[in-house]
Amino acid sequence: MNVHAWAATAANQPLAPFQITRREVGAKDVQLEILYSGICHSDIHQARGEWGNSKFPMVPGHEIIGRVLKVGANVTKFKVGDLAGVGCMVDSCRTCSPCGTGEEQFCEAQPAWTYNSTEMDRTTPTYGGYSTHVVVTEHFALKVPASLDLKTAAPLLCAGITTYSPLRQWNCKPGDKVAVMGLGGLGHMAVKLAAAMGAEVTVLSSSKAKEADAKRLGAADFASSTEKGSLKRLKNRFNLIIDCVSADHDFDQYLGTLAPFGALVLVGAPPKPSQVSSFALINNNRRLAGSSIGGIRQTQEMLDFCAEKKLGADIELIAAKDINVAYERMLKNDVRYRFVIDAKTFAT
């Protein structure tokens, strides 16, 4: 099936209209009409070849909300007309140990990522959500609760699960003191989710101008990371820090704000290796860790939690023709806090 899409044809070229071919619906497949597709910062890195593994032509997008148009003969999870989502993965080997425990993101054969990857045959390229339709195996499609605002739900498939997963892994619960570093696409979801779990949330940001937003999103406190001495009052306070900052920064000063046995968890990815003082970790038995996305089971749990708590991303809805402008605005931090593309505009 030929469908409309927007693609990067080379790292130095803007995205533009493109035609791609989707496979016919197999026995365990579902076909979605895409309604909304979120823009993740990693889309920019990949489309501009900044991570060194880009394959062109590339159709980015791994925050997909759609409606089921067709189901295969053996599909049991969906019926035509259901709402469904597709996140960062579209398949895995489903036989290795991580896959068997619901952690498909750690598939030992490497998952089939939603774009800039291949299907598990390691030949057929995968194309992402900047398109009108997608076909995916039933296991990797997620049920989208009807109570969610579909536009604001799209970023949950990446920004939502990326921040929900470490909160669950470190057992965020009522009364915990949680800090969120960086109030952007990831950070704003971390604040909403941690607050909804009952934590007392503090935002640590380099931008004093975001203090009002931090409070609106659910933070109880705010500290400017650029003001000298601003972190001293936070010494030994936090049980958990979700670090969403992708720029280089000094881990040691933030580790000093952790309570005994507290953890600083990286979900942002600074471009250069960082130095950490051993005593910053030894003191208070602090932990420095990283966290990826969750598996399919946890991603479904996250969507259900967001429906229960009435959570969604703060978004700006755009048409496909504005994708390149949106990329430039994202690089200037000129979005509060996530762009979402109206998928019907991919065909116009």
Scanning the chain, the segments in alpha helix (DSSP H) are 41-47, 97-100, 150-153, 159-169, 185-196, 211-217, 251-255, 278-282, 296-309, 323-331
CB-based contact 308:119 (threshold 8 Å):
no
pLDDT at position 221 is: 97
User: DSSP class of residue 96?
Assistant: S
Check pLDDT > 90 for residue 174: yes
* Least-confidence region, from 201-205, 246-250, 327-331, 337-341: 246-250
Q: Where are the domains of the chain?
A: 2-158+313-347, 159-290
CB-based contact 15:7 (threshold 8 Å):
yes
pLDDT at position 228 is: 80
Check pLDDT > 90 for residue 247: no
pLDDT at position 244 is: 96
Check pLDDT > 90 for residue 273: no
Output the CATH code of domain 2-158+313-347: 3.90.180.10
Q: Which is more confidently placed, 272 or 289?
A: 289
pLDDT at position 60 is: 98
129-143, 206-220, 266-280: which has the highest mean pLDDT?
129-143
pLDDT at position 297 is: 98
User: DSSP class of residue 138?
Assistant: G
pLDDT at position 36 is: 98
pLDDT band at 238 (very low <50, low <70, confident <90, very high): very high
pLDDT tens per residue across span 73-121: 999 999 999 999 999 999 999 999 999 999 999 999 999 999 999 999 9
For the chain, the average pLDDT equals 96
Q: Which two tokens stand for residue 287?
A: 């932990």
The CA distance from 320 to 62, in Å, is: 15
**pLDDT (mean) for 153-165:** 98
pLDDT tens per residue across span 215-228: 999 999 999 988 88
**pLDDT (mean) for 266-283:** 92
What is the distance, to the nearest Å, from the Cα of residue 112 to the centroid of all Cα atoms in its chain?
Answer: 16
Amino acid (1-letter code) at residue 118: T
Q: Which is more confidently placed, 200 or 227?
A: 200
Q: Which is more confidently placed, 248 or 105?
A: 105
Check pLDDT > 90 for residue 348: no
Output the CATH code of domain 159-290: 3.40.50.720
CB-based contact 157:140 (threshold 8 Å):
no
Q: Which of 190, 177, 145, 175 is nearest to 300 (CA)?
A: 145
Amino acid (1-letter code) at residue 62: H
Amino acid (1-letter code) at residue 325: V
Check pLDDT > 90 for residue 313: yes
pLDDT band at 254 (very low <50, low <70, confident <90, very high): very high
| b/e per residue 243-265 (b: at least 16 CB within 10 A) | bbbbeebebeebbbbbbeebbbb
- Could you tell me the CA-to-CA distances from 63 to 70, 112, 177 in Å, in that order? 20, 15, 29
CB-based contact 163:186 (threshold 8 Å):
yes
Residues 6 or more apart from 149 whose CB is under 8 A from it?
312
Q: Which two tokens stand for residue 216?
A: 């609106």
pLDDT at position 227 is: 83
pLDDT tens per residue across span 24-75: 999 999 999 999 999 999 999 999 999 999 999 999 999 999 999 999 999 9
